C-alpha cells in the first residue's frame, strides 16, 4: 500500500497537461468564464489610458491654489466643462480652471483636481476654499499598467476579475484550453439507473452521478458510459471504448479482491501499465491507477476507483481532482486545500491508513471549527455525506484525536 503523499506525487507525475499548441479553442469572452488561458496576454494600452480625474470637481494649476484657505480663497475662471468621454480643447492658463467630472481626461496645463465639496461656484467662476495636495485626485496615465508589459499569465483561470481585464484590454476573443474529457463508467451487475424499478439485491448507480457532478464542477466534460455488468467481455469493450475518446477514464467498483472484481485484469489485457493497486487511505484503499500509451497521440490516465460510494468520492477529491486541475492547463494550485481547524468531536481511526472523516467546516469568530457528521462513517454510507464540506485527516499512526485539538481538514466544496 502506497502512502497517500507518495500516491499523489506519483499520480501527478503521470499527468500530461493539455498542450497549448493543440488542445486549445478560441472563445468569445462571455463564454470564457472558468476556463484556463493558454498564452500570456499583453496590451498596447496604458491603464489608465490618459491622466484623468478621480473626483467630480475642478481641474486646476497647483501653483494657483497651493496657499489658499477659507479666509484667503483663490477664485479661478472656468474655461471648459469636461465630462467623461470628451477630449479637452483648452490649455488651462494661470488663473483658470476646468469643470471636470469623474473619469474625464485632465486638460493640458492642469495638474491637480479640487473636489467639488471644497469649492464654491458662482457662474463661470469657482472659489477654492482649501489648498489641495499637489496632483490630488489625478489618476496618472499608466499608473496601473504599462503598455507592453505582461498583463495576464498563461495557465490562470479566467474569473470575473480576469474577464474584466481582458475586456478592458479589448481582447474580445481569448484562447483557452479545451475542456478535458472524462469518461465515467460504473461496474456492477447490481446497478440500475435512478429511473428504473429496483429488484431485490439491486441498488442505484449513484457513483455515476456523483462523479459526473464532480467532473462538471471542475470544468471538464463528463462522458457517461453508464453501468457495466460484472462480465469480463462487457467490461473490456466498455473500457476499450472509453480510452479511445477520453483523456481520463474513471471507473468505480471491481478493484478489490472479490470474484467479480475484473478491472485490473482487463486493464492488463488491454495493455495498460498499472502504477498503483492500493493506497494507504481510508476510505479508498483499493485504488487502481494505470496509463495507456499508444496508439493515441496523448496518453490516457485510468482511475479504477473503489465502488463504495464514499470511497469513490474521497479518492476523487484526494487524487482525481488534482489530476484534472493539472491536466486542464492550470499552472499551479493543483493540490487540495487543507485548513487548520479545531475538531468539536473526538475522532478515531485504526492508525494503519491515512483516515478521512467527513463533516462540516465552519468559521466561528475567525477560527475554523470542524463538526463530524453524525451517523455511521462507513464507506458504504453516502447519506450523511450530504451537506458536508470537509474531510478531517487523521495521519497514519494516530488512532485518536480528542475534541478541542487542532487538525487539518481537506476542503471539498
Ligand atoms: N476481502 C476483502 N474485501 C474487501 C476489501 C479487502 O481489502 N479485502 N476491501 C474493501 C474495501 S476497503 C472497499 S472500498 C471495497 C472496494 O470494492 P470494489 O472496488 O471491488 O467495489 P465493488 O466490490 O464492486 O463494490 C463495493 C460496494 O460498492 C457498491 N457500489 C459499487 N458501484 C457502485 C455504484 N456505481 N454506485 C453505488 N454503489 C456502488 C457495491 O454495490 C458494493 O456495495 O471492497 C471491500 N472489500
Ligand atoms: O477503505 Mo474502503 O475504501 O472504504 O471501505
Ligand atoms: Mg469488490
* ipTM score for this prediction: 0.98
Task: Give the C-alpha separation, 344 to 406, whole Å.
Answer: 10
Contacts with 386 (C-beta within 8 Å, 6 or more apart), sequence order: none
Q: What class does CATH assign to 338-411?
A: mainly beta
Query: In this predicted structure, what is the pLDDT of residue 305?
Result: 98
What is the share, in percent, of the chain residues with pLDDT greater than 70? 99
- Is residue 187's pLDDT more than 90? yes
- Is residue 30's pLDDT more than 60? yes
Average pLDDT over residues 17-41: 97
In the reported structure, the alpha carbon of residue 341 is separated from the centroid of ligand 3 by a whole-number distance in angstroms of 35
Q: Supply the residue whose CA is at minimum distance from atom 8 of ligand 1.
A: 257
- Is residue 319's pLDDT more than 60? yes
Beta strand pairing status for 191-192 and 203-204? parallel
Task: Give the C-alpha separation, 305 to 200, whole Å.
Answer: 25
Closest ligand 2 atom to 286 CA: 3
The residue that leads in pLDDT, 285 or 296, is: 285
Query: In this predicted structure, what is the pLDDT of residue 413?
Result: 79
pLDDT digits (tens, 9 = 90+) for 366-389: 999 999 999 999 999 999 999 999
Q: Supply the residue whose CA is at minimum distance from atom 4 of ligand 2.
A: 283
CATH of domain 52-139: 2.170.190.11
Query: In this predicted structure, what is the pLDDT of residue 294?
Result: 60
Q: Does the Cβ of 304 fall within 6 Å of ligand 1?
A: no
- Is residue 146's pLDDT more than 80? yes
**Mean model confidence pLDDT for the chain:** 97
- Is residue 22's pLDDT more than 80? yes
Task: Give the C-alpha separation, 282 to 222, whole Å.
Answer: 26
Q: Does the Cβ of 258 fall within 6 Å of ligand 1?
A: yes
Query: In this predicted structure, what is the pLDDT of residue 296?
Result: 52
Task: Give the C-alpha separation, 224 to 362, whole Å.
Answer: 34
Average pLDDT over residues 83-90: 98
The answer to whether domain 24-47+144-177 and domain 338-411 are alike in fold is no
pLDDT digits (tens, 9 = 90+) for 256-289: 999 999 999 999 999 999 999 999 999 999 999 9
Query: In this predicted structure, what is the pLDDT of residue 258?
Result: 94
- The CATH architecture of the domain made up of 24-47+144-177 is Alpha-Beta Complex (3.90)
* Three-class DSSP category at 342: strand
CA dihedral of 263, 268, 271, 277, whole degrees rounded to 10: 80
In the reported structure, the alpha carbon of residue 380 is separated from the centroid of ligand 3 by a whole-number distance in angstroms of 12
Residue ranges near ligand 3 (ion) with Cβ within 5 Å = 256, 258, 261
Query: In this predicted structure, what is the pLDDT of residue 324?
Result: 98
In the reported structure, the alpha carbon of residue 255 is separated from the centroid of ligand 3 by a whole-number distance in angstroms of 6
Strand partners, 122: 125
Task: Give the C-alpha separation, 144 to 54, whole Å.
Answer: 14
In 356-402, which ranges are continuous DSSP H helix? none
Task: Give the C-alpha separation, 336 to 220, whole Å.
Answer: 17
Query: In this predicted structure, what is the pLDDT of residue 360?
Result: 98
What is the share, in percent, of the chain residues with pLDDT greater than 90? 98
Question: Do residues 406 and 341 touch, judged by C-beta distance below 8 A?
Answer: yes
In the reported structure, the alpha carbon of residue 306 is separated from the centroid of ligand 3 by a whole-number distance in angstroms of 8
Query: In this predicted structure, what is the pLDDT of residue 297?
Result: 58
Which grid cell sits at 122? Answer: 458662482
- Is residue 235's pLDDT more than 80? yes
Q: Which of 199, 253, 254, 284 to mutate to test the pocket of ligand 1 (most atoms within 8 A of CB)?
A: 253
* Ligand nearest, relative to CA of residue 258: 3
Q: Supply the residue whose CA is at minimum distance from atom 3 of ligand 2.
A: 284
Question: Do residues 284 and 306 touch, judged by C-beta distance below 8 A?
Answer: yes
Question: Do residues 112 and 100 touch, judged by C-beta distance below 8 A?
Answer: no
Contacts with 197 (C-beta within 8 Å, 6 or more apart), sequence order: none
In the reported structure, the alpha carbon of residue 382 is separated from the centroid of ligand 1 by a whole-number distance in angstroms of 13
**What lines the ligand 2 site, CB under 6 Å?**
282-285, 306, 308, 311, 379
Question: E-assigned strands of 101-257?
Answer: 112-115, 119-122, 125-128, 138-139, 150-152, 173-177, 181-187, 191-192, 203-204, 221-228, 248-252
Closest CA to 158 of 51, 10, 35: 35
Query: In this predicted structure, what is the pLDDT of residue 293?
Result: 86
Query: In this predicted structure, what is the pLDDT of residue 36?
Result: 98
Query: In this predicted structure, what is the pLDDT of residue 322?
Result: 98
Task: Give the C-alpha separation, 139 to 382, whole Å.
Answer: 56
In the reported structure, the alpha carbon of residue 221 is separated from the centroid of ligand 3 by a whole-number distance in angstroms of 27
Average pLDDT over residues 299-306: 96
Query: In this predicted structure, what is the pLDDT of residue 408?
Result: 98
SS3 content of the chain, % helix, strand, coil (to 5): 20, 35, 45
pTM value is 0.94
CA pseudo-torsion sign 370, 374, 377, 383: negative
Say which CATH superfamily domain 4-21+178-327 falls into: MoaB/Mog-like domain (3.40.980.10)
Closest CA to 134 of 115, 120, 113: 113
Task: Give the C-alpha separation, 240 to 247, whole Å.
Answer: 13
Eight-state DSSP code of residue 179: P
In the reported structure, the alpha carbon of residue 311 is separated from the centroid of ligand 2 by a whole-number distance in angstroms of 5
In terms of C-beta density within 10 A (0-12 exposed, 13-18 middle, 19 or more buried), how is residue 112 classed? buried
CA pseudo-torsion sign 48, 54, 60, 61: negative
Q: How far is CA 229 from CA 39, 91, 188, 222, 386, in A?
A: 44, 82, 5, 20, 28
Q: Supply the residue whose CA is at minimum distance from atom 45 of ligand 1.
A: 256
Domain boundaries, the chain: 4-21+178-327, 24-47+144-177, 52-139, 338-411
Amino acid at each position: 500500500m502506497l502512502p497517500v503523499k507518495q500516491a499523489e506525487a506519483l499520480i501527478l507525475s503521470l499527468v500530461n497537461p493539455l498542450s497549448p499548441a493543440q488542445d486549445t479553442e478560441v472563445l468569445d469572452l462571455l463564454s470564457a468564464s472558468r476556463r484556463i488561458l493558454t498564452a500570456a496576454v499583453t496590451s498596447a494600452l496604458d491603464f489608465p489610458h490618459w491622466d484623468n480625474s478621480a473626483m467630480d470637481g475642478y481641474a486646476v494649476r497647483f501653483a494657483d491654489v497651493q496657499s489658499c484657505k477659507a479666509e484667503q480663497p483663490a477664485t479661478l475662471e472656468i474655461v471648459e466643462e469636461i465630462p467623461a468621454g470628451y477630449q479637452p480643447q483648452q490649455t488651462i492658463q494661470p488663473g483658470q480652471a476646468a469643470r471636470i467630472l469623474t473619469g474625464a481626461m485632465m486638460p493640458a496645463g492642469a495638474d491637480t483636481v479640487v473636489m467639488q465639496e471644497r469649492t464654491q461656484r458662482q457662474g463661470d467662476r469657482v472659489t477654492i476654499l482649501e489648498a489641495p495636495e499637489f496632483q490630488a485626485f489625478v489618476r496618472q496615465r499608466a499608473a496601473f499598467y504599462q503598455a507592453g508589459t505582461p498583463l495576464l499569465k498563461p495557465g490562470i483561470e479566467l474569473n470575473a476579475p480576469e474577464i474584466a481585464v481582458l475586456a478592458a484590454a479589448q481582447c474580445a476573443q481569448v484562447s483557452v484550453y479545451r475542456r478535458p474529457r472524462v469518461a465515467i463508467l460504473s461496474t456492477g451487475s447490481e446497478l440500475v439507473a435512478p429511473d428504473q424499478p429496483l429488484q431485490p439485491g439491486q441498488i442505484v448507480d449513484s457513483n455515476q452521478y456523483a462523479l459526473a457532478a464532480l467532473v462538471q464542477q471542475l470544468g471538464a466534460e463528463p462522458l457517461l458510459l453508464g453501468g457495466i455488468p460484472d462480465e469480463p467481455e462487457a467490461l473490456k469493450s466498455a473500457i476499450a471504448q472509453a480510452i479511445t475518446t477520453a483523456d481520463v477514464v474513471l471507473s468505480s467498483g471491481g478493484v478489490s479482491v472479490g470474484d467479480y472484481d475484473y478491472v485490473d485484469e482487463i486493464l492488463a489485457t488491454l495493455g495498460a501499465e498499472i502504477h498503483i493497486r492500493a493506497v494507504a487511505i481510508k476510505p479508498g484503499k483499493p485504488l487502481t491507477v494505470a496509463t495507456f500509451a499508444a496508439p493515441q497521440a496523448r496518453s490516457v490516465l485510468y482511475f479504477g476507483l473503489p465502488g463504495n460510494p464514499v470511497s469513490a468520492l474521497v479518492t476523487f477529491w484526494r487524487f482525481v481532482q488534482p489530476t484534472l486541475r493539472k491536466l486542464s492547463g492550470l499552472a499551479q494550485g493543483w493540490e487540495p486545500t487543507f485548513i487548520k481547524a479545531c475538531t468539536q468531536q473526538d475522532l478515531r481511526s485504526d492508525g494503519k491508513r491515512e483516515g478521512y472523516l467527513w463533516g462540516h467546516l465552519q468559521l466561528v469568530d475567525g477560527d475554523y471549527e470542524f463538526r463530524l457528521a453524525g451517523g455511521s462513517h462507513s464507506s458504504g454510507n453516502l447519506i450523511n455525506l450530504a451537506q458536508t464540506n470537509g474531510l478531517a485527516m487523521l495521519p497514519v499512526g494516530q488512532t485518536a484525536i480528542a475534541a478541542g485539538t487542532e487538525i487539518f481538514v481537506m476542503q471539498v466544496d
